[in-house]
Chains A and B, each alone.
Chain A
Amino acid sequence: MEILVCARRVPDTSENEIEINAAGTDIERDELVYSVNEADNYAVEEALQIRDRVGGNVTVVTIGGEEDEEILRRELAMGANQAVLISDDAFSGSDGRGIATILTDFVKKGHYDLILTGVQAEDGAAQVGGMLAAMLDYPFASLVNSIAVEDGKLRVSREIESGNREFNEIDLPCVLSIQTGINEPRYVGMRGIRQVASLHIPTLGASDVGIDRTAVGEVAAKVKRVDYFVPALSKGAQILHGSREENADQVLELVAAKGGLK
């Protein structure tokens, strides 16, 4: 099975202190450390596991600049067969639809049976997977938390309300957005990355992929980020004092007072 995984490089929320810049237009990016978007990493792991079960290839693609190569290298070290960087000045300022457009054109140039995205980027809006499927006219399932390969189709489960699961059959080729927790992604250490350090990662520009420059980037964006804000600290919190037993009683009283216990 030929599998494509769309991945992104994002600031690692567990290793940064995210602050908004003075102008309020972006976060401070000076001292950030980045990593592959968590959900995308699960998608790559799932792709590798499917490949190891049924054979085929895993390609990882990302849209960005030279600095984004680091996540591709990490995914190569995990075991992806190849990685592609799509990079062009024309892409900057793309909204979700622009990104989906770029990916659509890229997918059309290859032959992929299965396209995986992470359920959402940590700084994103969980929209590219669905848009990509629509533009390709492929079936789509979101929040996928298990995949079984059957003849010409997949049996996938999706996470629905309260942690319940819904099972679907979906025809190939298709697009799935992968929920975190679907598997346990393998560890990639420094050694793994060093072993793939010399692998060539092809970089494709807009013309290589056949992308209409007017359909992407800032000129085509219909969604624009206008502001960031940090919610103000509100005063709803109440700190209980006393021993653990007293605290437990106080909590019970409070919950009962608000109508939580009947």
Chain B
Amino acid sequence: MVGISSSAQITDWLVPGRTLFLAIHVLGVACFAYIVAKRLVPLVRAQRDLRFDRPLTRLGRVLKFWLGQWKHPRYKFAGTLHILIFTGFILLAVRAFTVLIVGVSENFVMPGLSGRTGHVYDIVTDYAATIVFLCMVIAAIRRLVFKPTRYAVPAKYGKPHTADAVFLLGLIALLMVADSLFAASNAAGHAQHGQPVEALAVLSLPWVIQLVIGSMPTATLWVLNVTAYFVHELTFYFLLCYRPFGIQFHVETSLFSVYFSKLDRGTVKPVRWGVPDDNLDQVQSFGVKKFEDFTWKHMLDFYSCADCGRCADNCPANAAGRPLAPRFLTIKARDYAFQHYPVFGKAHNHEPLIGNTYSEDEIWSCTTCGACEEECPLLVEYIDKIVDLRRGMIDDGNVPQSLQKPLKALESRGNPYGKLEKKKADWVKTGEFPQTCGVKILSGNDRADTLYFVDSITSYDDRMQSIGRSTARILSHVGEDFGILGGAEKDSGHEVRRFGEEMLFLALRDHNTEAIRASGVQRIVTADPHAYNALKHDYKDVPPVEHISQVIAREVRAGNIQFAPVEDTDKVYAYHDPCYLGRHNQIYDEPRAVLDAIPGLKRVEMKQSRDRSFCCGGGGLMLFYEPKEEQRMGVLRVRMAAEAGANVIVTACPFCMVNIEDAIKVAGLEGKMSAIDMTELVDRNMVRQVCSEKLETATCGG
């Protein structure tokens, strides 16, 4: 192998090639090791994070999300490009190392890649280099000409990232060209000397280059060969050492980010990992106030973010013009890390994050809908960070006045509205409802198998009480022996926890847990996805919980609920996935199955549905928060429904109902669009054989 031998054997600037390249190797690797060590400094100073459990599950996720690039096709074009580049890199890794080693030891062959296997591998990598090169060209054209909006950097978040992105694309393209030129000049040199040469892959980049340079004089080929090698070597190490300064660091960190990613959906991280709830009083400071309060995994997330903008592209807060884009939550933290933990010099100046890196409104703007996390190809976490930042603000007393009143009311009355506990069960006593459907109150002597956990909004809000009554009638209809806790039920605390008021949440949880256990019920049903998520993931030692849509779907399948055809046939229904039913708990099919079981019901899907559902504005305490925004999320959502051709939005969450009904008015669609809860729809269309004939309480009465 003339060409390769010559690389190691040349003498340039009075230094033998072998020595020169060895020096570059050692220097490159040393630089990289030093930079990475510096990058790890904040991670060492960070908070604990217990991520070493369930190794098999974690490996599975690496196979699916890292090697399998599972999330990428959600954006078809960019995703395909990335899969091609990623695959190319994986394939080229061995070739790149072989080439590097060959500079020092000219006859090196990677074990297992000699002979025929080696030739096949060469052909494959010829194409891989070509594809990566083409992808770089396409990606650069996208960045420079088509400029997808999700890459734009609004002025408030800093300068555009285009130049850096294109520079990196250029470097990778250069690496591919150098690699191909090296192979091509080698092959051409061999061919000119009549030496045996393995054919380059037809139409690949090396093949094309060989066509161009094949007839050049041997001396020129030799220069090209050595230059290509040198450029390849330098570019490789420059990229290696430059990546930790920007978004390309994900090439190294993504594997770890994915391995250590969060496994439990719907949960919120503890205040401090390893500190049990009972010992929280001993924790000096809650949440994240300064950068070092983040956990090491969360810092790793900052390094791993590839700045692809998918999170912000799907963030409803960002879409509504609130001052929040998940992407910049990460980018700003990464910039903080780079600035305060520089590669050269000491770590310095640790100012509070709120007021410097982040604004208060930015952190309160999040509805914790989870759209960003669902989208992120690298499984970067956002909700836990937002909650931790809120915990820090709560701990410092830094809470918007609009939220202080409901929090205070939750503390003294157990609900955010400050309503009296004794009126919690008033909704079961209204109008004719008590005559048609009896609801037991389980805080006294009454006993039942099933607890209907109503939660604050459905108990106290006049409009939402209708959801409560429909739910009760459905449970009665299917013969469920159920009751409610009445005044003994406090708010589930779901948003209390997610707004960072952990101690208040724990108080509410402990109270409810005791009340639920004292009632002796075997299972819990709720029609409120927020309560459902709280009972399922935040509470411990309570009976199993189901959302009413699961109960209805099961009873429909069993034939215990039958529907009369819809009367209004010009209605077109669209189901809106509540975040805490859909994304956080993966219940997408049951509500749809229920709707589809109603004869004659025309249903359409909104473009953003299921795990891409668009949050209507948030629940719980978010109803009290006064965000800075250009428009309401709900209005955007209602327009999406109209776009899909729907005139009825069906949802399965009382908070969605508040937001969507308001949004219909704000959007000026009153009379053209309406909203109905799934329980109300089922209640309306359910065939009541016994009741409708005899108007008795035999099966309707609980």
A residues bordering B, Cβ < 8 Å? 12, 14-17, 31, 33, 35, 78-79, 184-192, 194-195
Q: Which residues of B sit under 8 angstroms from A35, Cβ to Cβ?
A: 408, 412
Q: Which residues of A sit under 8 angstroms from B502, Cβ to Cβ?
A: 191
Q: Which residues of A sit under 8 angstroms from B411, Cβ to Cβ?
A: 190
Which of A14, A31, A190, A194 has a CB less than 8 Å from the CB of B418? A14
CB pair A189–B394 under 8 Å, yes or no, is yes
Which of B281, B405, B412 has a CB less than 8 Å from the CB of A33? B412
CA distance A17 to B418 in the complex (A): 9
CB pair A12–B407 under 8 Å, yes or no, is no
Which of B397, B398, B503 is the most central at the interface, judged by chain A CB atoms within 10 Å of its CB? B397
CB pair B420–A187 under 8 Å, yes or no, is no
Q: Measured between C-beta atoms, what is the minimum distance from B291 to chain A in Å?
A: 22
CB pair A190–B405 under 8 Å, yes or no, is no
CA distance A66 to B129 in the complex (A): 80
Q: Which residues of A sit under 8 angstroms from B503, Cβ to Cβ?
A: 189-191, 194
CB pair B412–A78 under 8 Å, yes or no, is no
The 10 closest A-B pairs by CB, nearest first: A186-B397, A15-B418, A187-B399, A190-B503, A33-B412, A191-B503, A187-B397, A14-B418, A15-B409, A190-B504
CA distance A191 to B399 in the complex (A): 14
CA distance A86 to B410 in the complex (A): 30
Which of A15, A184, A195 has a CB less than 8 Å from the CB of B412? A15
B301 contacts A by Cβ under 8 Å: no
CB pair B404–A187 under 8 Å, yes or no, is yes
Extra inter-chain contacts (7) besides given A14-B418, A187-B403, A189-B504, CB under 8 Å: A14-B405, A14-B409, A16-B418, A31-B420, A187-B404, A191-B395, A191-B502
CA distance A18 to B420 in the complex (A): 11
Using an 8 Å CB-CB cutoff, how does the interface string of B426-450 with A read, 1 for contact, 0 for none? 0000000000000000000000000
B375 contacts A by Cβ under 8 Å: no
Q: Which residues of B sit under 8 angstroms from A16, Cβ to Cβ?
A: 418, 420
Closest residue to B501 on the A side, CB-wise? A189
CA distance A189 to B501 in the complex (A): 7
CA distance A15 to B460 in the complex (A): 13
CB pair A191–B286 under 8 Å, yes or no, is yes
B110 contacts A by Cβ under 8 Å: no
Q: Measured between C-beta atoms, what is the minimum distance from B235 to chain A in Å?
A: 54
Q: Which residues of B sit under 8 angstroms from A15, Cβ to Cβ?
A: 408-409, 412-413, 418
Q: Which residues of B sit under 8 angstroms from A184, Cβ to Cβ?
A: 400-401
Closest residue to A194 on the B side, CB-wise? B281
Q: Which residues of B sit under 8 angstroms from A33, Cβ to Cβ?
A: 412-413
Q: Which residues of B sit under 8 angstroms from A189, Cβ to Cβ?
A: 394-395, 407, 501, 503-504
Closest residue to A35 on the B side, CB-wise? B408
> Which range holds the interface residue count of chain B?
20 to 34
B422 contacts A by Cβ under 8 Å: yes
Q: Which residues of B sit under 8 angstroms from A17, Cβ to Cβ?
A: 420
CA distance A35 to B397 in the complex (A): 17
Q: Which residues of A sit under 8 angstroms from B399, Cβ to Cβ?
A: 186-187
B396 contacts A by Cβ under 8 Å: yes
CA distance A188 to B507 in the complex (A): 15
Which of B280, B397, B420 has a CB less than 8 Å from the CB of A188? B397
Closest residue to A41 on the B side, CB-wise? B404
Q: What are 6 pairs between A and B in contact, CB < 8 Å?
A: A12-B412, A15-B412, A185-B404, A189-B503, A190-B503, A194-B503
Closest residue to A13 on the B side, CB-wise? B418
Q: Is the interface of A mostly helix, strand, loop or mixed?
A: loop
Q: Measured between C-beta atoms, what is the minimum distance from B689 to chain A in Å?
A: 40
Q: Which residues of A sit under 8 angstroms from B504, Cβ to Cβ?
A: 189-190
Q: Measured between C-beta atoms, what is the minimum distance from A180 to chain B in Å?
A: 10
Closest residue to A197 on the B side, CB-wise? B281
Q: Measured between C-beta atoms, what is the minimum distance from B276 to chain A in Å?
A: 16
Q: Measured between C-beta atoms, what is the minimum distance from A45 to chain B in Å?
A: 9
CA distance A31 to B398 in the complex (A): 30
CA distance A35 to B408 in the complex (A): 9
CA distance A195 to B405 in the complex (A): 21
Using an 8 Å CB-CB cutoff, how does the interface string of B606-623 with A read, 1 for contact, 0 for none? 000000000000000000
Closest residue to A195 on the B side, CB-wise? B281
Using an 8 Å CB-CB cutoff, how does the interface string of B272-292 with A read, 1 for contact, 0 for none? 000000001100001000000
Q: Measured between C-beta atoms, what is the minimum distance from A188 to chain B in Å?
A: 6
Q: Which residues of A sit under 8 angstroms from B405, Cβ to Cβ?
A: 14
Q: Which residues of A sit under 8 angstroms from B280, Cβ to Cβ?
A: 191
CB pair A190–B507 under 8 Å, yes or no, is yes
Q: Measured between C-beta atoms, what is the minimum distance from A51 to chain B in Å?
A: 15
CA distance A15 to B408 in the complex (A): 9
CA distance A16 to B401 in the complex (A): 19
Q: Measured between C-beta atoms, what is the minimum distance from A258 to chain B in Å?
A: 29
CB pair B401–A31 under 8 Å, yes or no, is no
Which of B479-509 touch A at CB < 8 Å? Answer: 501-504, 507
Q: Which residues of A sit under 8 angstroms from B401, Cβ to Cβ?
A: 184-185
Q: Measured between C-beta atoms, what is the minimum distance from B307 to chain A in Å?
A: 35
Closest residue to B418 on the A side, CB-wise? A15
CA distance A14 to B410 in the complex (A): 12
Q: Measured between C-beta atoms, what is the minimum distance from B407 to chain A in Å?
A: 7
CA distance A14 to B395 in the complex (A): 24
CA distance A62 to B503 in the complex (A): 27
Q: Measured between C-beta atoms, what is the minimum distance from A195 to chain B in Å?
A: 8
CA distance A235 to B501 in the complex (A): 45
CA distance A191 to B504 in the complex (A): 8
Which of A15, A78, A189, A194 is the most central at the interface, judged by chain B CB atoms within 10 Å of its CB? A189
CA distance A14 to B399 in the complex (A): 19
Q: Which residues of A sit under 8 angstroms from B281, Cβ to Cβ?
A: 191, 194-195
Q: Which residues of B sit under 8 angstroms from A194, Cβ to Cβ?
A: 281, 503
CA distance A190 to B405 in the complex (A): 14
Q: Which residues of B sit under 8 angstroms from A195, Cβ to Cβ?
A: 281
CB pair A12–B418 under 8 Å, yes or no, is yes
Closest residue to A186 on the B side, CB-wise? B397
CA distance A195 to B404 in the complex (A): 19
Q: Measured between C-beta atoms, what is the minimum distance from B397 to chain A in Å?
A: 3
Closest residue to A187 on the B side, CB-wise? B399
Q: Which residues of A sit under 8 angstroms from B422, Cβ to Cβ?
A: 31
Q: Measured between C-beta atoms, what is the minimum distance from B118 to chain A in Å?
A: 65
Q: Which residues of A sit under 8 angstroms from B397, Cβ to Cβ?
A: 78-79, 186-188, 192
Q: Which residues of A sit under 8 angstroms from B418, Cβ to Cβ?
A: 12, 14-16
Q: Which residues of A sit under 8 angstroms from B395, Cβ to Cβ?
A: 189, 191
Which of B230-289 touch A at CB < 8 Å? Answer: 280-281, 286
Q: Which residues of A sit under 8 angstroms from B396, Cβ to Cβ?
A: 186
CA distance A52 to B121 in the complex (A): 70
Using an 8 Å CB-CB cutoff, how does the interface string of B646-669 with A read, 1 for contact, 0 for none? 000000000000000000000000
CA distance A79 to B397 in the complex (A): 10
Q: Measured between C-beta atoms, what is the minimum distance from B420 to chain A in Å?
A: 6
Q: Which residues of B sit under 8 angstroms from A187, Cβ to Cβ?
A: 394, 397-399, 403-404, 407
CA distance A185 to B403 in the complex (A): 12
Closest residue to B408 on the A side, CB-wise? A35
CA distance A192 to B502 in the complex (A): 12
Q: Measured between C-beta atoms, what is the minimum distance from B191 to chain A in Å?
A: 77
Q: Measured between C-beta atoms, what is the minimum distance from B360 to chain A in Å?
A: 11
Closest residue to A48 on the B side, CB-wise? B397
Closest residue to B399 on the A side, CB-wise? A187
Q: Which residues of B sit under 8 angstroms from A78, Cβ to Cβ?
A: 397
Q: Which residues of B sit under 8 angstroms from A31, Cβ to Cβ?
A: 420, 422
Q: Which residues of A sit under 8 angstroms from B403, Cβ to Cβ?
A: 187
CA distance A190 to B408 in the complex (A): 10
Using an 8 Å CB-CB cutoff, how does the interface string of B289-313 with A read, 1 for contact, 0 for none? 0000000000000000000000000
CA distance A52 to B22 in the complex (A): 61
Closest residue to B406 on the A side, CB-wise? A14
Q: Which residues of B sit under 8 angstroms from A192, Cβ to Cβ?
A: 397
CA distance A17 to B281 in the complex (A): 34
CA distance A156 to B420 in the complex (A): 40
Q: Measured between C-beta atoms, what is the minimum distance from B508 to chain A in Å?
A: 10
Q: Measured between C-beta atoms, what is the minimum distance from A212 to chain B in Å?
A: 37
Q: Which residues of B sit under 8 angstroms from A188, Cβ to Cβ?
A: 397
Closest residue to A45 on the B side, CB-wise? B397
Q: Measured between C-beta atoms, what is the minimum distance from A37 to chain B in Å?
A: 13
Using an 8 Å CB-CB cutoff, how does the interface string of B344-359 with A read, 1 for contact, 0 for none? 0000000000000000
